[in-house]
Amino acid sequence: MAKGYHFERKWRAANRRLRELRMIAQGLMSKDHPVMAHIIPIRRCNLSCAYCNEYDDVSKPIPLGIMKERLDLLADLGTTIVTFSGGEPLLHPELDDLIAHVRGRGILAGLITNGYLLTPARVKKLNAAGLDHLQISIDNVKPDDVSKKSLKVLDRKLQVLAEHATFHVNINSVLGGGIHNPEDALVVGKRAIELGFTSTVGIIHDHDGQLRPLGDRERSVFLEMKGFEKTNFSQMNYFQDAIAHGRPSEWRCRAGARYLYICEDGLVHYCSQQRGFPAKPLAEYTVDDIRREYLTQKSCAPLCTISCVHQVAYMDFWRDPQTIPALERTESEKLVQIGQ
């Protein structure tokens, strides 16, 4: 890496850390705003991984004006992190404008990508747009019938990121979900650290976001990989310890309040795996909705493996049990029994 990039990376890392600390302070002081939102600028993906239900191969990009309106609505709600997901968000021709718009509203900007479309020029455009965080999930060492997101295919892309990116890069290895060789996750994690990135491990969920218990080999790899993780917001995955051993996790899910998932139609959902709840237009979402969903208990929570939702919930683990007094319930506010 050239000296200029090295200095810029250091400066941006320090600036990003200050903004993350401010985010935490704001979250601790007030519970009436979303901490994180995932938003879909395009549903289409250039891959078709067997375990994924979050893409299609036909959808067009959401127009720039509509996306900016949605981002402004999230900013007006007080959202502190917006992450672009998909599908494959790099297929959106104006993604850089969207990232710059998020940063212009004082919000941390994240991106989840399969990495296939990264080139030196593309990475430099992401730098210029002000991207803060990028995550790639790599599923195996060599591509197979489950996933093409392999280290063999993506290693050159990782080298490009190591040389040119001034934003934080996290490489997420995965276990479960039919991945054939659990030990591949160790190879991926070690390579990520070698290149100067952070490394996390994820447990693949079923199509309802629920736990698929790990086998003995997978559990052993999981425990070893936890030692790779450094102190970072994305490494707050304590809930996985219970999940890795097939135990339900005891926590208070704040989806629909502290975490929002905005689909390509502009509707607010609990998460990518619980689309349809509450499925209210973002343009109509208010603090009253946030307060309701903050208290609403979700029956899918004990076996949930959605890391981002768990991570955001840590901010409020110490306060407010999720109970809605019977006299205050309306039909739309009753205990949500998802998947039952």
Nearest in space to 274 (alpha carbons), one of 292, 290, 293: 293
3-333 domain in CATH 3.20.20.70?
A: yes
**What average pLDDT score do residues 175-183 get?**
76
Q: How confident is the model at residue 239 (pLDDT cuts 50, 70, 90)?
A: low
For residue 12, is pLDDT > 50?
A: yes
Q: What is the mean pLDDT of the chain?
A: 87
pLDDT score recorded for residue 51: 74
pLDDT digits (tens, 9 = 90+) for 124-152: 999 999 999 999 999 899 988 878 899 99
For residue 54, is pLDDT > 90?
A: no
116 vs 181 pLDDT, higher one: 116
The CB density around residue 154, as the number of other CB atoms within 10 Å, is: 24
For residue 304, is pLDDT > 80?
A: yes
pLDDT score recorded for residue 157: 98
Q: Among 83-87, 96-100, 315-319, where is mean pLDDT lowest?
A: 315-319
State the amino acid at position 285 in one-letter form. Y
pLDDT score recorded for residue 207: 55
pLDDT score recorded for residue 242: 72
Q: Among 13-22, 196-205, 241-250, 278-287, where is mean pLDDT lowest?
A: 241-250
Under 8 Å between Cβ of 339 and 300: yes
pLDDT digits (tens, 9 = 90+) for 220-236: 888 788 777 654 444 45
For residue 106, is pLDDT > 60?
A: yes
DSSP-assigned states of every residue in 119-149: -HHHHHHHHHHT--EEEEEE-BSS--SS-S-
pLDDT score recorded for residue 339: 47
175 class by beta-carbon count within 10 Å (0-12 exposed, 13-18 middle, 19+ buried): buried
Long-range pairs, 245-248, Cβ under 8 A, ≥24:
245/214, 245/219, 246/211, 246/213, 246/214, 248/302, 248/303
For residue 212, is pLDDT > 90?
A: no
pLDDT digits (tens, 9 = 90+) for 181-209: 889 999 999 999 999 999 988 776 655 55
179 vs 266 pLDDT, higher one: 266
Instruction: Tell me whether strands 168-175 and 267-269 are parallel, antiparallel or unpaired.
Output: unpaired
Q: Give the start-to-end residue ranges of the domains of the chain.
A: 3-333
Nearest in space to 123 (alpha carbons), one of 156, 145, 87: 156
pLDDT score recorded for residue 177: 61
CB contact set of 225 (below 8 Å; sequence gap of 6+): 173, 185, 186, 189, 199, 201
For residue 305, is pLDDT > 90?
A: no
